[in-house]
Amino acid sequence: MCLAIPGKLLSITNQLDETFRFGNVSFGGITKEVNLCMVPEAKVDDYVLVHVGVAISIVDEEEAKKVFSYLKDMGEVEELEPSNS
């Protein structure tokens, strides 16, 4: 469930109404037309998470970076907290 991958939004085309809002998303250079109606705030150059042709989220860049500093931040926090053992 849920093969979804991030891609870069290159362009947006609006048709009919917001449920038909589509964009061209690039995955490592290949592009596919993706429906954007679930991510109304998405703008060109955003990275969106795409599942079965529908974008379901926009990457939160700040949160994305936190994974890389998690261990380091944790180490610093543990130094501050008194030991529990």
Partner 1 sequence: MKYLSEYRDPELAEEFIKEIHRITTKPWTLMEICGGQTHSLVKNGILEMLPDKITMVHGPGCPVCVTSVSVIDEAVYLAQQPNVILCSFGDMLRVPGSHKNLLEVKAEGGDVRILYSPLEAVVIAKENPTKEVVFFAVGFETTAPANALSVVHADKMGISNYSILASHVLVPPAMEAILSDEENKIDAFLAAGHVCTIMGMEEYYPVAEKYKTPIVVTGFEPVDLLQGILMSVQQLEKGEYKVENQYARYVQREGNKMAIETINEVFDVSDRIWRGIGSIPQSGYEVNERYKKFNARLKFKLDLPVAEENKECISGDIMKGLKKPKQCPNFGTKCKPEHPLGAPMVSSEGSCAAYYHYSNVDSVLA
Partner 2 sequence: MSEKIKMNLQCPMPKFDFDVITLGHGSGGLLTHRLLQSGVFDVFKNDLLDQQHDGASFELNGRVAFSTDSYVISPIFFPGGNIGDLAINGTVNDLAMCGAEAKYLSLGFIIEEGFTMEDFWKVLVSIKEAADNANIKIVTGDTKVVEKGKGDKIFINTSGIGIIHPKANINHKNIEVGDVIIVSGNIASHGIAIMSLRRGLEFETSIESDTTNLNHIVLSLVEKFGNDIKFLRDPTRGGVASVLNEIAELTRLGFYLDQKLIPIDDQVDGACEMLGLDPLYVANEGLFMAVVNKEIAADFLTQLQKENKGSSAAIIGEVTSEHPGKVIMKSRIGGKRVVNYLTGEQLPRIC
User: Which residues in this chain contact partner 2 in the complex, by CB under 8 A?
Assistant: 1-3, 5, 7, 24, 26-32, 50-52
Triad 28, 31, 34: Cα angle to 5°: 120
Element (H, E) at 83: none
CB of 48 to partner 1, least distance (A): 10
The distance in angstroms from the start CA to the end CA of the chain is 40
Residue the block writes with tokens 């870069």: 8
Binding residues for partner 1 (CB under 8 A): 1-6, 8, 16-17, 19-20, 27-28, 35, 37-40, 47, 49, 51-54, 56-57, 59-61, 63-64, 66-68, 70-71, 84
